Amino acid sequence: IVVFMSGSCSSPKVTIPKETELGKEYPKANEEEIAKRTLELTLNSIKENSKNGGKVLRDAHPKHHGCVSGSFIVDNTVPATMRFGVFSKPKTYPIWIRFSNGGTPPKDDKEGDIRGMAIKLMGVEGEKLLEDEKNEKTQDFLVISHPVLPVGDPQDYLDLFEAAFAKRPLRHLVFNGYFGAIKKISALRGLKVPSPLGIRYFSTTPYKLGNGAVKYSAKPCDNFKPEMPAELTSNYLREAMT
């Protein structure tokens, strides 16, 4: 799998002021409260889905197809403007990758769904941003099977989450004119793929890198073009990986 970076960071439904600089963050005044409410809803969702003695699952991407080990190779072709962090010099990192479906609760692979790829690098030196992971020697790259999120900023995401928790997500999107988001969600939830190893993945959101910002993407090697199985079983994506 080839992982590469792009300088394009556009998002839907977001107006970017002319004075905005690439690579700088412009958080809203209430973004901390938005994050706390989003976390509260996430925990409530987990509790709701596991009530009455049910199995406690991840809040997102609960169904995995398989985990693989490999190497994350940073070669000497990285542009000078992107040589920061793990990309600062040629090096090889041991990695684990988890492939998954996004839907909660989990459903059959033969139904359309978001597909996820979570890459964990090992042996990464340096202090990390998250307080509870400050001294960890890992770094994650999370990518899914669609180039952008359906909504454009944390408040929009929370509003959609609130509507989904109230079981009225479509009504919310239509009422607020998110017709582009409806189209994107339909594309996400309707995606059927031949193999988790045969599709392209995207970070959806931009990430700061040095003085700029990038989006990450992973795509299969050009000579790997799997075909849809003749019979789609409940776990055909796991079978395809095997």
Note the pLDDT tens digit of each residue in 164-174. 777 765 565 55
Q: What are phi and psi of 219, to 5 degrees?
A: -135, 150
Per-residue model confidence (pLDDT) at position 32: 93
Average pLDDT over residues 124-144: 93
175 has a pLDDT exceeding 60? no
24 has a pLDDT exceeding 60? yes
Q: How far apart are CA 235 and CA 144, in angstroms?
A: 19
Looking at per-residue pLDDT, the higher value among 130 and 72 belongs to 72
At 26, is the secondary structure helix, strand, or coil? Answer: coil
* Model confidence, pTM: 0.82
186 has a pLDDT exceeding 70? no
206-239: per-residue pLDDT in tens? Answer: 888 888 889 999 999 888 889 998 889 999 999 9
Looking at per-residue pLDDT, the higher value among 104 and 234 belongs to 234
Q: How far apart are CA 156 and CA 165, in angstroms?
A: 14
Residue type at 224 in one-letter notation = F
Q: How far apart are CA 217 and CA 229, in angstroms?
A: 26
Q: How far apart are CA 90 and CA 66, in angstroms?
A: 28
CB 205 within 8 A of CB 11: yes
Looking at per-residue pLDDT, the higher value among 11 and 170 belongs to 170
Per-residue model confidence (pLDDT) at position 48: 82
Position 5 confidence tier, pLDDT thresholds 50, 70, 90: low
Per-residue model confidence (pLDDT) at position 11: 44
For the chain, give the mean pLDDT.
84
Lowest mean pLDDT among 64-68, 96-100, 125-129: 125-129
